[in-house]
Structure 1
Amino acid sequence: MKRAAYTLAAGMLGAALYVAAAVAPASAATTGPAAAGSAAASAGSVAVGSAPAATAASAGSHAPFILPALPLPPHFSAPYVDVTSVSDLADISAQSGSKVLSLAFLQTEAPGSCTVYWAGNTATPVAASTFGAAIDRIRLRGGDVIPSFGGYSADTTNTEIADSCTDVHKIALAYEKVITTYKAQRLDFDIEVDSLSNLAGIDRRNQAIVEVKAWAAKQHRPLSIAYTLPSTPQGLGATGVALLQSAAKYRAPIDAVNIMTFDYWDGLTHDMLADAKSAAAGLVTQLRATIAPHASDAALWHTVGIIQMNGIDDFGPEETFTVAQASPLVTWAASKHLNMLSFWALQRDNGSCPGVKGSNDCSGVVQAPWAFSKAFARFASWWY
């Protein structure tokens, strides 16, 4: 998935994805030139729900968290939001009706660094003073947030932390800091473009995931891991499959895999709803061939997440996901018991720029404000 220019599950599920025949409920969530974003906790399941200066001061009067996260439900909607493009995360959550938000993105300030910041900006560190009060308000309303690492900008500038940092332990420590600071119960990794061909970075990331999951287990801390990857209409490309093969090699417990079903860039006119369905079916086959050879079909579908780009994507009108397609996608996803639905991005969920492709702050289609958010929110309501 892209920012400004472009961004399961019970612990049993994560472990079982590599070796077990049955998998417990899970959950998941990105976007980019191919791009867009979570999951049931490893010990149970969360009920839901600006500028870099959008910290505690702009979100409320206190910085420390007052509430831990509730368990994520096994099925939920978690639209991505560009944290640099909104003034208050809690306000946009309330206005849109999106209880769970995927927060984009965490990356290093420069190649070679092992420290992540929001949008790679040292003015927005991983700290309670950055977005903490807003996250409290989201949780007070029964929602949650999913921190997302990577995204198009990081993945093309060598600032995705596993590309930037060559020390696996330091990468894991960065993940742990995000978890402890924000009481996060799911981490999302939006890996695309150059990061998909950085084989050393892919291996380091999967090794760090193994370390952080072991750390969380020792602390009895619920944690699920989701990969967000670009897709073709038939499923992951070769580089995405190779990433999952690396996860299998290191036995990294991956709880969900989300596919970005947009930005195909093949010059064809696409039915974005039909292609999302066929891409998800292809992913199920690829999951069995890589990280979950013994899982049932039902368990595999339950680890799948779909991320659309609401409206006209970066390619153009030939790749347009319409408001009319949103409800049928939700109905189909519920019938398959998918883990998560999402779109890039929440700040685009308005009709202020009809005909414009790939805008960061409007969908390019004629729509009522929050039309996509309201349709996707129904995905969670199927289960209550």
Structure 2
Amino acid sequence: MRIRIIGAAALALAATGAVLASTPQAQAATAIPAHVFAPYFEAYNGDSLNGLSQQSGDKYLTMAFIQTASAGSCTVYWNGDTGMPIAGSTFGSDIAAIRARGGDVIPSFGGYAADNGGTEIADSCTDVNQIAAQFEKVITTYDVTRIDLDVEDNSLTNTAGIDRRNKAIKLVEDWAAANGRTIQFVYTLPTTTAGLADSGLAVLRNAVANNARVDIVNQMTFDYYDNQPHQMAADTKSASNGLHAQLQQLYPAKTGQQLWSMIGVTEMIGIDDFGAAETFTVADANAVATWATQQGIAELSFWALQRDNGGCPGTGGSDSCSGIAQGTWEFSHIFAPFTSGGGTPASPTPTRSTSASPSPTKSTSPSPSTGAGLTNGNFESGALAPWTGSLCSVVSTPVHGGTKALKAAASSADNAQCAQTVAVQANRTYTLTAWVQGSYAFLGATTAAGDTSTWTAGGSTWTKLTVTVNTGSSTSIKVWLHGWYGTGTIYADDVTLT
């Protein structure tokens, strides 16, 4: 099966500044969320990692790719460019800035160019200990908790390389355990519409034989090259159902839900390398986002962040645009709510409420909502407090009811989060609601376990958002509303927590 062709150009971007941790004792403050949207960032074309993270609003990014400079080498670089070493001077300040905003990165080894050219680390290096050392160097230099291994093309038939890679994974997992680290390994593999081909399964069988723990199997649900008609969202589901059955054979002790939590999906947004017959649309994205949340899969991604725009209608397989008519960052906005932390199920992907008519009246009292300590949820006090947010204010129009509402004026650099901390009871489920107006309005809450949220693409009428929040061990939570980077102002009113 022919598979995607990506990652061939040399890196042009070298961030300078902060040097990240480089000792085995260091540890990233927060593990990657249990359910995460982390699109691939093409780290070879001169774009700003932190800049595109801010512009798109994507907090988690998978960075492609790391490989050796030449076949036979045991030293890795970003895109195999010796001028881009694994060091804090390369991408360090960008990663630090992303973490400061609550996100993180996932370095990815391999990719088609490396797998095709013999520069994937386990194909290139014949010393298992040195392969493990290169993994450890990336982990300690950037203080990451997850590594992606993109294995395709010739790497799928290099049985010696497969065995070396899995032996090295086992060594790194033992090293991490001995040093109090958390590290996860993801295998990104091509798929058929019915599950992995036998070459991909062989990679996983060898991992089991070597006692190498594989945390996530991430399918590339595109570039099928089978000359068949495709409905890409349906194909994603059928491929994942097939993978689930395959994982059940490999890991018989795991429950069905545990197996779903091992599955990842990477789409190629728009027209893929095969051509128009394999086109992943905005409608497909909405369907996959809903399904991924319902199934509780581990990871949702797409190739690639720089393609998330409609700049080249009709063009297939471009590195810089999707080839379809779409809004800039539209796929990012659809997939973003999938991310949730602490192992709790992600919030259902929201749909536009059909009940958009405003209620005619509301209480002018700023009393707390029933059952929780949320105050000034109707903003009738005329003041923002206890809500906070530098781009947040109280306005007189538009309103959902009464005479006041909340305004969140998102900019190109800030999504304008308006929040307040609310006292709650531990181990209880609350319902958070708000009426919102404007494009890309988000409603959510942060507990000790992570974020739970919902959103709507919205428009000029009022839409009701509702999200269920389980407090777990938390006795206080942060309730928040915000817009989205570069999409303008949103308004909110009649916020309740019951």
Per the normalisation by structure 1, the TM-score is 0.85
- Which residue among 327, 331, 336 is the counterpart of 2:295? 336
Is 1:359 matched with 2:314?
no
Aligned to 1:226: 186
Query: 1:84: Cα distance to partner?
Result: 1.0
In the aligned structure 2, how far is the partner of 1:209 from the partner of 1:320?
35
SS at match of 1:232: coil
Kindly provide the CA deviation profile for residues 340-366 of structure 1, in whole angstroms up to 9, marking residues without a partner as x: 100000011111100000001110001
State the alpha-carbon separation in 1 of the partners of residues 294 and 20 from structure 2. 40
Question: Residues of 1 paired with 2:233 and 2:169: CA distance?
Answer: 32
For residues 233 and 3 of structure 2, what CA distance do their matches in structure 1 show?
A: 21
What are the Cα deviations for residues 116-135 of structure 1, in whole angstroms up to 9, with x where unaligned? 00000001010000000000
CA distance in 1, matches of 2:222, 2:20: 38
Does residue 350 (structure 1) correspond to residue 309 (structure 2)? The answer is yes
**Distance (whole Å) between structure 2 residues aligned to residue 137 and residue 184 of structure 1:** 14
Summarize deviations over 1:242-273 as a string: whole Å, max 9, x none.
11110111111111100000000011120000
Aligned to 1:293: 252
Query: Is the Cα contact below 8 Å between 2:3 and 2:190 reproduced in 1?
Result: no
Give 1:138's match in structure 2, choosing from 91, 98, 102.
98
Q: 1:75, 1:339 within 8 Å by CA — same for their partners in 2?
A: yes
Aligned partner (choices 192, 197, 201) of residue 237 of structure 1? 197
CA distance in 2, matches of 1:360, 1:87: 12
The question of whether the paired residues in 1 share the 8 Å contact of 2:10 and 2:79 is answered with no
Letter in 1 for 2:316: K
Structure 1 residue aligned with 2:73: 113
Alignment of 1:292-311 (within 5 A): 292-311=251-270
Q: Match for residue 336 of structure 2? A: 377
Q: Structure 2 matches for 1:104-183, cutoff 5 A? A: 104-183=64-143
Aligned equivalents of 1:213, 1:315: Cα separation in 2: 37
Q: 1:380: Cα distance to partner?
A: 1.4
Contact 2:6 2:113 in 1 (8 A): yes
Q: CA RMSD in A?
A: 1.9
CA contact (8 A) 1:51 1:86 kept: no
Q: Which amino acid aligns with 2:313?
A: P
Cα distance in 2 for residues equivalent to 1:297 and 1:237 = 21
Structure 1 pair 118–233 and aligned structure 2 pair: CA distance change class (3 A): same
Count the aligned residue pairs.
338
User: In structure 2, do the counterparts of structure 1 residues 150 and 348 end up closer, same or farther at CA, with 3 Å as the change threshold?
Assistant: same
Aligned to 2:18: 62
Q: 3-state DSSP class of the match of 2:186?
A: strand
**Alpha-carbon displacement from aligned partner over 1:100-159 (angstroms, at most 9, x marks no partner):** 000000000001000000000001010000000000000000000000000000000010
Would the aligned equivalents of 2:3 and 2:224 in 1 still touch at CA under 8 Å? no
Partner amino acid, structure 1, of 2:194: Q
> In proportion to residue count, which structure has more strand?
2
- On the 8 A contact 1:326/1:375 being kept in 2, the answer is yes
Q: TM-score, normalised by structure 2?
A: 0.66
The whole-number CA distance in structure 1 between the counterparts of 2:27 and 2:125 is: 32
Tell me the amino acid that sits aligned with residue 114 of structure 2.
A
Alignment check: 8 A CA contact 1:284 1:301 kept: yes
Distance of 1:101 and 1:2 partners within structure 2:
22
CA distance in 1, matches of 2:226, 2:242: 18
Whether 2:52 is the aligned partner of 1:92: answer yes
Query: Could you say which residue in structure 2 is the equivalent of 1:312?
Result: 271
Measured in 2, the distance between the counterparts of 1:288 and 1:318 equals: 32
Question: Is contact 1:69-1:185 (8 Å) kept?
Answer: no
Contact 2:310 2:326 in 1 (8 A): yes
Whole-angstrom CA distance in 2 between matches of 1:191 and 1:72? 21
Gaps of 5+ in 1: 8-31, 33-49
1:323 and 2:287 matched: no
Structure having the higher helix fraction is: 1
Distance in 2, matches of 1:62 and 1:96, equals: 23
Unaligned runs of 5+ in 2: 341-345, 348-451, 453-498
Q: Deviations over 1:161-199 (max 9, x none)?
A: 000000000000000000000001001100001100000
